[in-house]
A and B are shown apart, each in its own frame.
Chain A
Amino acid sequence: MAAPADTPRRRPGTRSPIPPGLRAAVPVLLLLIFGFVAPLLTVAAFSIAEPRSYDVFTSFTLANYAQIFDPANSVWMSFAWSLALAALVVGILLVACYPVAWGLVHVFGRWAPAISAILVFPLFVSENVRLYGWVLFFIKGGVLDGVLKVFGIGPVTDLLYTPGMTLFGMSYVYFSFMLFPMVLGLAMVPRDLVDAARDLGASRLMIWREVELPLAMPGILIGMLLTFVLAAGAVAEAKILGGQSVITIAQDIETAFTYAQNWPLGAALAMVLVVIVGALALFVMGRLDLDRILGRR
C-alpha cells in the first residue's frame, strides 16, 4: 500500500539501514536463533566431530554418518520402526479422532468444553505416570484381568510388552495432538457452506467429500504433522508399555548420549531424524496454502 502523501517522511540522514519490519522482529529472531537455531547448530557440529570425542568445532569427520549408513549397521531398523509406528499412529488417530472432533464441533454443544477439558486434563499429568497407569491396567492380575474375572472371562495374558501395545500407548498419548487441530479444522468450515452444499442438492457423503473434508484439511494436516513428528521421536511408550520389544530411534539416540557416551554419533542420528522429519514437514506445509486459511473469511 502506498503511503499517503501527507505522511511525514524520515529525513535521509536519520534513516535507519534496517527496515522497520526487521527491527520489530528482532526479539523474535533472537529468540529463534538462541532457542532453536543455536542448539540445532550445536547438534549439527557435534555430528561432524570425531566419534566418541568432545572435540566439537575443532574436528571434522563424516565418520558418524558413515557409521549410520553402513549397511552392516542395524540402526536402520530403529528408524524404520519409529517411522512405521509414527505412520500407523497417524492412521489410527485419523480414524479415531475424526468422529470425536466432529462431535465436539457439531453435536456435543454446551458439553463440548467439558469434554475437551476431560480430554486435555491428562496432558497435565506426566506421560510416564499415565503410561504406568496403563501398565497397571494391562498387567497380569491387573485392572483388566480383574474386570474380566467378574464376567468369568480370562485372564488374558501377554498383552504387555509387545509392539501392538507400544502402538496403543502412542495412540493414547498423541490423541489430543491430532484431535484439537482437527477440531480447529472442522470448526473452520463455515456452517453456511455446508448448508449451501446441502441446499444445492448434495448428499451427506458428497458434502463431506466436497466441502467439509477439503476445508478442514489444514487442521487435519497440521494434526497429522504434529502427531507424526512427535511420534517419530517417541520413546517412553516403547519402553514402558512395549518393554523395549522394539527399539525406537529416540532410544538409540538416548543410548548414544548416555551409556555409550558417543555424543557425535547421537548427534548424527538426531540430525538424520531431523532431516527426515523436516523434509516431510516441508512437503506437507508446502501443500498448505496458509494465506488461504487465514484470509478465508
Chain B
Amino acid sequence: MNGMSRRTMMKLTGGAALTAPFLPGAALAARDKELNILCWEGYNSAQVLDPFRAQSGANIRAESLTNDPTMINRLRAGETSTWDLINVNNPWARKVMYPSGLIKPLPRAEFEPYFDQMLPEFKAPYKWAMSEDGTELLGMAQRFGPYSFVVNTDKISRATAEEQGWDLFNDPALEGRYGILESDDWNVFNMFMVAGINPFLDHSDAEMAKFREVAERIVKGARMIGDIAMMNQALVSGEIDLHLTGGTYSVSPARADGNLNLRAITPLKGAIDGKGGIAWIEITSTVANPDLSPLAQEFLKYVQDPEIAHTVAFAEGTFNPVTQMGNPDCFELFSKDELEAIQWESLEEDMARSAEYDIVPDYDEALDILTAAKRLRG
C-alpha cells in the first residue's frame, strides 16, 4: 500500500462505515463496496466478518436481532433497500418472505453444488431452501440445531429427561426448579408441546383453553424467566435444574466452559407426528433490494468455505453445528471439545427426533395468552 498507511486506510473505512447508514444516496452509488446483513447473533462477529472485509475491501455492516418476526417486519417496513442479506429460521423464506417479495432467488446452478458438500439431510433440493413450488433456490443453510429444553444431568438424568420429555414440566415436584428462556416464539411452541398439542396446526377452542391452562401454570411455576446468560448461570449455580426452551444454541457456551452436565434434551416422543422436539435451521437469503450489493452472493459463497464455516460455528456468543460439517475438510477443523460443546455425538438422533421450526397459525392469540400468563406471576 503505497503512500497510505494501513492505519489511515482503516480510519477511512471505519469512518465510512459510521456514516454509510445515514447516507442512502451515497450508498446507492457505491453498493459494490458495501454489504448490510440482518442476522442472528454470530454472523455479526468480527471473526466472521473481518476476513471478508479484508478480502473485499468493503464496508460490512451486520445487525443482530434475537427473533425472526422483528427481522422480517424490518423488511416489510421498507428496509429492503437497506439490507442485502437476511438470516432467519427455516420457514420464513419459503412461506412468507418469498411470497411477499421480500427476498430474491439465488442462481441454482451456482449455489446448489454447495449443498452436495453438506450433511446428508441437506442435499439439494433442500426443502427449506426452496420455494413452495420447488423451482427456486431461496437461500443457503448453515447453522442449525435442536431446540427443546435444557437440563442439568446431575439433577435429572438424560434418560429420564428424554423419556419423560415435556411432561417434566407437568411434574408438581419440579415447580420452582425450572426457568423459562424468554424467546417467546419458542415458548409458544413449547407450551403447546407441554400441553400435548401440535403447535403447527390450527387449534380448536378446547386446544387453546388447554394451552392457556398450561401456559399459566408453567409460567407461574417458573423460578424465573430470562435470557440465555441467566439460564446458564442459574443452571451452573443450582438455582434451577432445567429450563424450557433451549438447545445447543443456548447451552453450548456453558458446555464449552466445561459444564458438560448441562445438556440440550430432545424428548423421545411428542405431539408433532410423534416427533419429540423442535429444531431450527437458519436460511440466509438475498434481500429483494432494488440495488442489491454484488457482495451478497459473494458472502454466501464465502461462508461455505470450510475454515469460515468452522468460524461461523464457533463465533462468539453461541456455538452451533453447521451443515458444512458434511464436508470432511470442514469437520476435521472441529476439536473434540468443540464437538462435545455442540453435542455432536447425539446430533443426528436429536435432529431425527425433531420436527422443524414452523409457523403457528394462531401465533398471535397464543402469544397474547402467554403474555397475559406472565403478568399473573406477580
Contact = CB atoms under 8 A, between A and B. Distances in A.
Given A160-B224, A259-B185, A259-B367, A240 B375 contact: no
A47 B238 CA distance: 43
Contact of A260 (B229, B230, B367, B375): B367
Interface string B231-273: 0011001110000000000000000000000000000000000
B368 A260 contact: yes
Contact of A141 (B223, B237, B375): B237
Nearest to A239: B226
Nearest to A262: B364
Interface in A53-73: 54, 73
Contacts of B377: 244-247
Contacts of A130: none
Interface stretch (A1-9, A74-82, A197-205, A214-222): A74-82
B80 to A, nearest CB: 13
Instruction: Please tell me the size bucket of the interface on A.
Output: 35 or more
Nearest to B179: A243
Contacts of B58: none
Interface in B52-81: 67, 69-70, 73, 76-77
B374 interface: yes
A259 B375 contact: no
A244 B224 contact: yes
A262 B73 CA distance: 10
Given A135-B233, A140-B238, A252-B371, A247 B378 contact: yes
B182 interface: yes
Interface string A226-244: 0000000000000110111
A260 B371 contact: yes
B224 A77 contact: no
B225 A244 contact: yes
B46 interface: no
A244 B179 CA distance: 10
A91 to B, nearest CB: 19
Nearest to B376: A74
Contacts of B184: 255, 259
A160 B378 contact: no
A261 B359 CA distance: 14
Nearest to B372: A74
B230 A259 contact: no
B241 to A, nearest CB: 12
Contacts of B239: 139-140, 160-161
A78 B378 CA distance: 9
Contacts of B233: 132, 135-136, 139
Nearest to B224: A243
A244 B374 CA distance: 8
B176 to A, nearest CB: 9
A228 B73 CA distance: 33
B332 interface: no
26 contacts: A54-B73, A74-B376, A77-B376, A77-B378, A135-B230, A136-B233, A139-B234, A139-B239, A140-B239, A141-B237, A160-B239, A161-B239, A163-B378, A239-B226, A243-B223, A243-B226, A243-B230, A244-B182, A244-B225, A245-B224, A245-B377, A252-B371, A255-B371, A258-B69, A259-B184, A259-B367
In the complex, the 3 A-B pairs of residues with the closest C-beta atoms, listed nearest first: A243-B224, A246-B378, A244-B225
Given A75-B375, A243-B222, A245-B378, 12 more contacts: A54-B76, A74-B375, A77-B375, A135-B233, A139-B234, A161-B223, A161-B224, A242-B224, A243-B179, A257-B70, A258-B70, A259-B367
